[in-house]
Structure 1
Protein backbone atom coordinates (compact mmCIF):
# COMPACT_ATOMS: atom_id res chain seq x y z
CA UNK A 1 0.00 0.00 0.00
CA UNK A 2 1.26 3.49 -0.80
CA UNK A 3 1.09 6.46 1.54
CA UNK A 4 -1.86 7.81 -0.46
CA UNK A 5 -3.73 4.53 -0.04
CA UNK A 6 -2.92 4.49 3.69
CA UNK A 7 -4.41 7.93 4.25
CA UNK A 8 -7.45 7.06 2.11
CA UNK A 9 -8.10 3.97 4.25
CA UNK A 10 -7.62 6.01 7.41
CA UNK A 11 -10.11 8.63 6.21
CA UNK A 12 -12.65 5.93 5.39
CA UNK A 13 -12.23 4.31 8.82
CA UNK A 14 -12.60 7.67 10.60
CA UNK A 15 -15.78 8.48 8.66
CA UNK A 16 -17.22 5.10 9.62
CA UNK A 17 -16.26 5.58 13.29
CA UNK A 18 -17.76 9.09 13.26
CA UNK A 19 -21.15 7.66 12.23
CA UNK A 20 -21.02 4.68 14.62
CA UNK A 21 -20.18 6.26 17.97
CA UNK A 22 -22.72 4.56 20.18
CA UNK A 23 -24.94 7.57 20.75
CA UNK A 24 -27.06 8.98 17.98
CA UNK A 25 -26.45 12.56 19.12
CA UNK A 26 -22.70 12.29 18.59
CA UNK A 27 -23.21 10.37 15.32
CA UNK A 28 -25.12 13.41 14.08
CA UNK A 29 -22.37 15.81 15.15
CA UNK A 30 -19.27 13.89 14.08
CA UNK A 31 -20.63 11.96 11.08
CA UNK A 32 -21.50 14.96 8.91
CA UNK A 33 -18.31 16.74 10.00
CA UNK A 34 -16.18 13.76 8.99
CA UNK A 35 -18.04 13.38 5.69
CA UNK A 36 -17.50 17.05 4.86
CA UNK A 37 -13.90 17.48 6.00
CA UNK A 38 -11.80 14.30 6.10
CA UNK A 39 -10.97 14.30 2.38
CA UNK A 40 -9.28 17.69 2.75
CA UNK A 41 -7.47 16.76 5.98
CA UNK A 42 -3.80 15.93 6.06
CA UNK A 43 -2.31 13.52 8.58
CA UNK A 44 -2.19 16.19 11.30
CA UNK A 45 -5.87 17.01 10.77
CA UNK A 46 -6.80 13.35 10.92
CA UNK A 47 -4.78 13.06 14.14
CA UNK A 48 -6.81 15.92 15.63
CA UNK A 49 -10.10 14.28 14.64
CA UNK A 50 -8.96 10.91 15.94
CA UNK A 51 -7.91 12.43 19.28
CA UNK A 52 -11.31 14.10 19.69
CA UNK A 53 -13.11 10.91 18.71
CA UNK A 54 -11.15 8.96 21.33
CA UNK A 55 -13.14 10.79 23.99
CA UNK A 56 -16.26 9.20 25.46
CA UNK A 57 -19.61 10.36 24.09
CA UNK A 58 -21.26 11.67 27.30
CA UNK A 59 -18.58 14.26 28.13
CA UNK A 60 -18.02 15.06 24.45
CA UNK A 61 -21.71 15.84 24.06
CA UNK A 62 -21.65 18.18 27.08
CA UNK A 63 -18.73 20.06 25.50
CA UNK A 64 -20.49 20.30 22.13
CA UNK A 65 -23.66 21.54 23.81
CA UNK A 66 -21.67 24.13 25.78
CA UNK A 67 -22.80 22.70 29.11
CA UNK A 68 -19.28 21.96 30.38
CA UNK A 69 -15.89 23.48 29.58
CA UNK A 70 -13.63 20.79 28.09
CA UNK A 71 -10.59 19.75 30.10
CA UNK A 72 -7.18 21.17 29.21
CA UNK A 73 -6.05 18.12 27.21
CA UNK A 74 -8.80 18.72 24.63
CA UNK A 75 -7.89 20.54 21.41
CA UNK A 76 -10.41 23.34 21.96
CA UNK A 77 -9.65 25.02 18.64
CA UNK A 78 -10.53 21.85 16.74
CA UNK A 79 -13.57 21.22 18.94
CA UNK A 80 -14.75 24.75 18.10
CA UNK A 81 -14.49 23.89 14.38
CA UNK A 82 -16.61 20.77 14.93
CA UNK A 83 -19.19 22.76 16.93
CA UNK A 84 -19.33 25.55 14.32
CA UNK A 85 -19.84 22.97 11.57
CA UNK A 86 -22.66 21.34 13.54
CA UNK A 87 -24.36 24.66 14.29
CA UNK A 88 -24.15 25.68 10.62
CA UNK A 89 -25.91 22.43 9.64
CA UNK A 90 -28.64 23.05 12.21
CA UNK A 91 -29.18 26.57 10.87
CA UNK A 92 -29.92 25.30 7.35
Structure 2
Protein backbone atom coordinates (compact mmCIF):
# COMPACT_ATOMS: atom_id res chain seq x y z
CA UNK A 1 0.00 0.00 0.00
CA UNK A 2 1.35 3.42 -0.89
CA UNK A 3 2.04 5.31 2.29
CA UNK A 4 4.40 8.05 1.06
CA UNK A 5 2.61 11.08 2.44
CA UNK A 6 -0.81 9.71 1.58
CA UNK A 7 -2.05 9.67 5.15
CA UNK A 8 -4.93 11.93 4.14
CA UNK A 9 -7.55 9.32 4.63
CA UNK A 10 -10.68 10.16 6.49
CA UNK A 11 -13.60 8.40 4.80
CA UNK A 12 -14.76 5.07 3.41
CA UNK A 13 -17.04 3.21 1.01
CA UNK A 14 -17.28 1.34 -2.20
CA UNK A 15 -18.79 2.64 -5.40
CA UNK A 16 -19.77 -0.72 -6.74
CA UNK A 17 -18.54 -3.77 -8.51
CA UNK A 18 -17.34 -6.29 -5.96
CA UNK A 19 -19.84 -8.23 -3.92
CA UNK A 20 -19.29 -11.21 -1.69
CA UNK A 21 -20.93 -13.27 -4.43
CA UNK A 22 -18.07 -12.36 -6.77
CA UNK A 23 -15.25 -13.68 -4.67
CA UNK A 24 -14.26 -16.31 -7.17
CA UNK A 25 -15.01 -19.55 -5.36
CA UNK A 26 -16.78 -21.16 -8.29
CA UNK A 27 -20.26 -20.97 -6.86
CA UNK A 28 -19.06 -18.69 -4.09
CA UNK A 29 -22.43 -17.67 -2.81
CA UNK A 30 -25.04 -20.35 -2.43
CA UNK A 31 -28.64 -19.56 -3.39
CA UNK A 32 -31.08 -19.61 -0.52
CA UNK A 33 -33.34 -22.64 -0.72
CA UNK A 34 -36.20 -20.58 0.60
CA UNK A 35 -36.62 -16.93 1.39
CA UNK A 36 -38.83 -13.94 0.83
CA UNK A 37 -36.68 -12.24 -1.77
CA UNK A 38 -35.59 -13.96 -4.93
CA UNK A 39 -31.91 -13.59 -5.71
CA UNK A 40 -30.86 -13.61 -2.06
CA UNK A 41 -27.70 -15.54 -1.41
CA UNK A 42 -25.91 -16.93 1.59
CA UNK A 43 -22.36 -15.77 2.22
CA UNK A 44 -19.60 -17.86 0.67
CA UNK A 45 -18.27 -20.74 2.69
CA UNK A 46 -14.77 -20.37 4.02
CA UNK A 47 -12.83 -23.62 4.06
CA UNK A 48 -9.23 -24.58 4.76
CA UNK A 49 -8.65 -24.66 0.99
CA UNK A 50 -9.94 -21.16 0.23
CA UNK A 51 -9.27 -19.21 3.46
CA UNK A 52 -6.05 -17.53 2.29
CA UNK A 53 -7.55 -16.77 -1.12
CA UNK A 54 -10.56 -15.23 0.66
CA UNK A 55 -8.24 -13.03 2.76
CA UNK A 56 -6.29 -11.92 -0.33
CA UNK A 57 -9.52 -10.97 -2.08
CA UNK A 58 -10.70 -9.00 0.95
CA UNK A 59 -7.37 -7.19 1.04
CA UNK A 60 -7.65 -6.36 -2.67
CA UNK A 61 -11.23 -5.12 -2.24
CA UNK A 62 -10.07 -2.99 0.69
CA UNK A 63 -7.19 -1.38 -1.22
CA UNK A 64 -8.96 -0.93 -4.57
CA UNK A 65 -12.28 0.67 -3.70
CA UNK A 66 -11.93 3.56 -6.11
CA UNK A 67 -11.85 6.32 -3.48
CA UNK A 68 -8.34 7.19 -2.34
CA UNK A 69 -9.48 7.96 1.20
CA UNK A 70 -11.22 4.60 1.52
CA UNK A 71 -8.43 2.73 -0.25
CA UNK A 72 -6.03 4.06 2.39
CA UNK A 73 -8.25 3.63 5.45
CA UNK A 74 -9.66 0.22 4.66
CA UNK A 75 -6.52 -1.05 2.97
CA UNK A 76 -4.35 -0.17 5.95
CA UNK A 77 -6.84 -1.72 8.36
CA UNK A 78 -7.08 -4.90 6.27
CA UNK A 79 -3.28 -5.23 6.03
CA UNK A 80 -2.98 -5.05 9.80
CA UNK A 81 -5.93 -7.24 10.78
CA UNK A 82 -7.10 -9.77 8.18
CA UNK A 83 -4.51 -12.44 9.05
CA UNK A 84 -5.74 -12.64 12.64
CA UNK A 85 -9.50 -12.76 11.94
CA UNK A 86 -11.58 -15.89 12.39
CA UNK A 87 -13.92 -17.00 9.60
CA UNK A 88 -16.96 -15.34 11.18
CA UNK A 89 -15.16 -12.00 11.36
CA UNK A 90 -13.85 -12.36 7.80
CA UNK A 91 -17.46 -12.71 6.63
CA UNK A 92 -18.50 -9.69 8.73
CA UNK A 93 -15.72 -7.63 7.15
CA UNK A 94 -16.83 -8.82 3.72
CA UNK A 95 -20.31 -7.45 4.50
CA UNK A 96 -18.74 -4.08 5.32
CA UNK A 97 -16.96 -4.10 1.96
CA UNK A 98 -20.31 -4.62 0.22
CA UNK A 99 -21.42 -1.12 1.26
CA UNK A 100 -21.21 1.80 -1.15
CA UNK A 101 -18.30 4.26 -0.94
CA UNK A 102 -20.35 7.43 -0.40
CA UNK A 103 -22.25 5.79 2.46
CA UNK A 104 -19.15 4.43 4.16
CA UNK A 105 -17.36 7.75 3.85
CA UNK A 106 -20.23 9.62 5.47
CA UNK A 107 -20.63 7.03 8.23
CA UNK A 108 -16.92 6.87 9.05
CA UNK A 109 -16.55 10.66 9.11
CA UNK A 110 -19.74 11.15 11.13
CA UNK A 111 -21.55 13.12 8.44
CA UNK A 112 -24.44 10.64 8.69
CA UNK A 113 -25.33 8.10 11.35
CA UNK A 114 -24.57 4.52 10.35
CA UNK A 115 -27.47 2.08 10.03
CA UNK A 116 -28.03 -0.52 12.75
CA UNK A 117 -26.40 -3.38 10.81
CA UNK A 118 -23.19 -1.36 10.47
CA UNK A 119 -23.18 -0.28 14.11
CA UNK A 120 -23.23 -4.00 15.00
CA UNK A 121 -20.31 -4.79 12.65
CA UNK A 122 -17.05 -5.10 14.61
CA UNK A 123 -14.88 -3.92 11.68
CA UNK A 124 -17.04 -0.86 11.03
CA UNK A 125 -16.74 0.14 14.69
CA UNK A 126 -12.97 -0.26 14.76
CA UNK A 127 -12.44 1.67 11.52
CA UNK A 128 -14.94 4.36 12.54
CA UNK A 129 -13.09 4.87 15.85
CA UNK A 130 -9.76 5.16 14.03
CA UNK A 131 -11.13 7.69 11.52
CA UNK A 132 -12.67 9.75 14.32
CA UNK A 133 -9.40 9.65 16.30
CA UNK A 134 -7.41 10.82 13.29
CA UNK A 135 -9.91 13.55 12.51
CA UNK A 136 -9.61 14.90 16.06
CA UNK A 137 -5.82 14.71 15.95
CA UNK A 138 -5.62 16.46 12.56
CA UNK A 139 -4.45 19.95 11.77
CA UNK A 140 -7.05 22.36 13.19
CA UNK A 141 -6.54 24.80 10.31
CA UNK A 142 -7.58 22.17 7.77
CA UNK A 143 -10.70 21.12 9.68
CA UNK A 144 -14.15 22.41 8.78
CA UNK A 145 -15.65 24.38 11.60
CA UNK A 146 -19.18 23.28 12.38
CA UNK A 147 -21.62 25.07 10.11
CA UNK A 148 -18.98 26.58 7.84
CA UNK A 149 -19.16 25.93 4.11
CA UNK A 150 -16.39 23.70 2.90
CA UNK A 151 -17.19 23.76 -0.80
CA UNK A 152 -16.96 27.10 -2.50
CA UNK A 153 -19.15 27.94 -5.45
CA UNK A 154 -18.01 28.97 -8.92
CA UNK A 155 -19.47 32.45 -8.45
CA UNK A 156 -18.06 33.22 -5.00
CA UNK A 157 -15.85 35.91 -6.50
CA UNK A 158 -18.98 37.82 -7.53
CA UNK A 159 -20.46 37.86 -4.02
CA UNK A 160 -19.55 40.64 -1.61
CA UNK A 161 -17.29 39.30 1.11
CA UNK A 162 -18.46 39.57 4.69
CA UNK A 163 -15.08 40.99 5.71
CA UNK A 164 -15.18 43.96 3.31
CA UNK A 165 -16.62 47.18 4.67
CA UNK A 166 -19.30 49.19 2.85
CA UNK A 167 -18.57 52.83 2.12
Work out whether the TM-score is over 0.5.
yes
- TM-score, length of structure 1 as denominator length: 0.83
Runs of 4+ in 1 over 3 A off after TM superposition: 85-91
**Aligned mates of 1:70, 1:38 — CA distance in 2:** 23
Mind listing any 5+ residue stretches in structure 1 that lack a counterpart?
Answer: none
1:83 matches 2:136: no
Mind listing any 5+ residue stretches in structure 2 that lack a counterpart?
Answer: 1-46, 138-167
C-alpha change, 1:6 and 1:88, in structure 2 (3 Å) is farther
**Aligned mates of 1:88, 1:5 — CA distance in 2:** 38
Determine which of 54, 62, 78 is the counterpart of 1:34: 78
**Count of paired positions:** 89
Question: 2:112 aligns to what?
Answer: 68
**Aligned mates of 1:22, 1:33 — CA distance in 2:** 16
Question: 2:69 aligns to what?
Answer: 25
**Aligned mates of 1:65, 1:89 — CA distance in 2:** 10
Q: CA deviation at 1:16?
A: 0.6
SS in structure 2 of the partner of residue 67 of structure 1 = coil
Q: CA deviation at 1:64?
A: 0.5
Q: Answer yes or no: is the 8 Å Cα contact 2:92–2:121 preserved in 1.
A: no
Q: CA deviation at 1:83?
A: 2.2
Residue by residue, what CA displacement relative to the aligned partner does 1:42-92 show, whole Å, maximum 9, x if unpaired?
11111111101100000100011011101123244521211234456786x
**Aligned mates of 1:49, 1:60 — CA distance in 2:** 13
- TM-score, length of structure 2 as denominator length: 0.48
Higher helix share: 1
Question: Which structure: larger Rg?
Answer: 2
Question: 2:97 aligns to what?
Answer: 53
